[in-house]
Amino acid sequence: MSVMVVYGSDQGCTRGIANRIAKTLNGKALDIKKARTDDLEAAHLLILGSPTYGCGDLQSDWEDHMAVLDNAKLDGKHVAIFGMGDQMTYPECFCDAVGILYDRVVAKGARVVGFTEPEGYDFSYSAALRDGRFVGLLLDEDNQPGLTDDRIEAWIGALP
């Protein structure tokens, strides 16, 4: 099974998590700035990662290279999403970038996997919360770095 982890990262935190996930799954991590549509289409499991900037914004490299995702044929493809956010400073838009990516891939017919439970988080709103569950793995390295390893391990263990 081929795994491709495509991420956007400015300060390196999301890149580090992407590399950890890729290594654990014997996959490849690729910055969205270098990704091509073929890279996304070739993977059996496509994993997308982005931090949320400001209050609810997708990371700028994703914004600049969204055509790579928009042009990919994802109908029926398994896609998992992870994101970084700060639930204390931005409780009203915690990890909204995950929700943005989710909406994009669902509109393209992808089968999103890797939903997680919101217990253990302290936020007021997240675009990544749908029907009582997060649509991916949400991490808060600013306020809960001690929970990251266990959250990643549990999430990876639940992926197909």
Structural domains for the chain: 3-158 (3.40.50.360)
Mean pLDDT of the chain: 97
Q: Is pLDDT of 1 > 70?
A: no
Segment 60-88 mean pLDDT: 97
Q: What angle do CA 144, 160, 146 make, to 5 degrees?
A: 10
Q: Which amino acid is at 88?
A: M
| Token pair listed for 96 | 């909204």
Binning pLDDT at 50, 70 and 90, where does residue 150 land? very high
pLDDT number for residue 55: 87
Segment 115-121 mean pLDDT: 97
Q: Which amino acid is at 33?
A: K
pLDDT number for residue 54: 86
How crowded is the C-beta side of 45, counted as CA atoms within 13 Å? 20
Cα separation values, 71 from 7, 9, 34, 39, 75, Å: 17, 21, 15, 11, 12
Q: In this structure, are residues 128 and 136 in contact, taking their beta carbons and an 8 Å threshold?
A: yes
Percent of the chain with pLDDT over 90: 96
pTM: 0.96
